[in-house]
Structure 1
Amino acid sequence: MRRSRGLVQAWADASALPGRFTEDLQLVLGEAIANAVEHAYGGGDTTGEVDYTVCRVDDTTVEATVADHGTWRPRSADAGHRGHGLRVIRSLASTATVDRHDRGTTVRVTLDVPGRDDPPAPAGAPAEWDVRPGTGHLADESPDARRLALRGDLDLIAVTALRPEVFAQVTATPSAAGGVRRLVLDLTDVTFLASAGLRLLVEVAELAAGHGWTVRLRYPAGGLVERVLEVSGLSHLPRTGHPGSTPTS
């Protein structure tokens, strides 16, 4: 997945596509690929290939297709914290179709390329997509608060490896009765946030709430994390600034 982002970035640069548009394309394509991996090949020891293409249909439209060769598992009645990826796709893509057949499933999306006068990507957007897997580190922020700093690319592969480590760090921390009252999830250095990363945030927030903590997110204004939270419907999550600043929500 991280390699595909690097290839798409190189293609977008060569095609002179706007930075914010490329950011949206990366998010939509990443969610479609992650869905194929999870739903077509996510059970047991199943392995398989996922093919994707990206092309410029004309000056105003880019089309991306993602095809797997497996069989999608039935959707669980209890979706848990899933569904954020579909919201991202529906919010950012102009059209999205799913074609299921006996050889697999093909997802096709189109995105409208903005005009030259549209604003560029906000300051802080990565010039190149980070290929580092996500990492996490828990540290004291103040006598009554802990800060969990997440860094790098939080996609499906990185989050799958990172989740047990993060959960272990959080559960090893004393509950509110032991002095810790707040947990700050610091996303300042997150360079890609997929729906798998969003699920991790919600799960950690619930885990922390079970300890009696209040939870706040920290991320730069106008950057990729803020955009993903907005289009996924999670912008309501409480947010805080850096130490010494005033909380924004």
Structure 2
Amino acid sequence: MVSDLYHRVPALAGELPALRHELAAWSGSAGLSPQAAQVIVLASYEAMANVVDHAYRNVRGALELRAVCEPDGGSGAAVNITVTDFGRWRPLPADPGVRGRGLLLMRRLATRTDIDATERGTTVTLWWSADSLKTLSI
């Protein structure tokens, strides 16, 4: 089983490419197909970009990324990704215009997407079952 991936970085756009590459490498070392890795990286990148774009207003903040590969009831390994910020959740606008599709994308790509928004920050959890990882594609 592959080791967990964990990074805590400043919530800056310039940090995201390195995190994306780390997550892609981790996915490969976990034995995931290139297609599954692409889906996981895309959904996770959306969550990370949301932190950079929306979590902090005119203040500096942090972004945490954690990737875990865990047993899934004997059918293989499931993947659990969490992206956490320590800012404030901003409600979705009534008309997001050409933007605002990140949450929809995450929900479509992951087996399950949970969002826990509190006064201390927001955690987005993306989870893929072992069975779904075998058939993922973009």
TM-score, structure 1 as length reference = 0.44
Query: Which of these residues, 49, 58, 61, is aligned with residue 62 of structure 2?
Result: 49
Q: CA deviation at 1:101?
A: 1.6
Aligned pairs (5 A) from 1:101-180? 101-114=118-131, 118=134
1:76 CA drift (Å): 2.5
Q: Is the 2:111–2:132 contact (alpha carbons within 8 Å) kept by the matching residues of 1?
A: no
Give the SS at the match of 2:35.
Answer: helix
Alignment of 1:206-217 (within 5 A): none
Q: When the two structures are aligned, how many residues end up with a matched partner?
A: 119
Over aligned residue pairs, what C-alpha RMSD do you find?
2.2
Unaligned 5+ segments in structure 1 are: 122-226, 228-249
Counterpart of 1:21 in structure 2 is: 36
* TM-fit CA distance, 1:77: 2.9
Determine if the alignment matches structure 1 residue 84 to structure 2 residue 97.
no
Q: C-alpha displacement at 1:26, in angstroms?
A: 0.3
State the Cα distance separating 1:87 from its structure 2 match: 2.1
> 2:107 is aligned with what amino acid?
R
TM-score by length of 2: 0.76
| CA radius of gyration, larger in | 1
Report whether the alignment pairs 1:11 with 2:2. Answer: no
Looking at both structures, which has the greater relative contact order when contacts are Cα pairs under 8 Å and sequence separation is at least 6? 2
Structure 2: which 5+ runs fail to align?
A: 1-15
| Paired residue secondary structure (2:93) | coil
Between the aligned partners of 2:21 and 2:59, the Cα distance in structure 1 is 26
Q: Which amino acid counterpart does residue 15 of structure 1 have in structure 2?
A: A
Matched AA of 1:32 = A
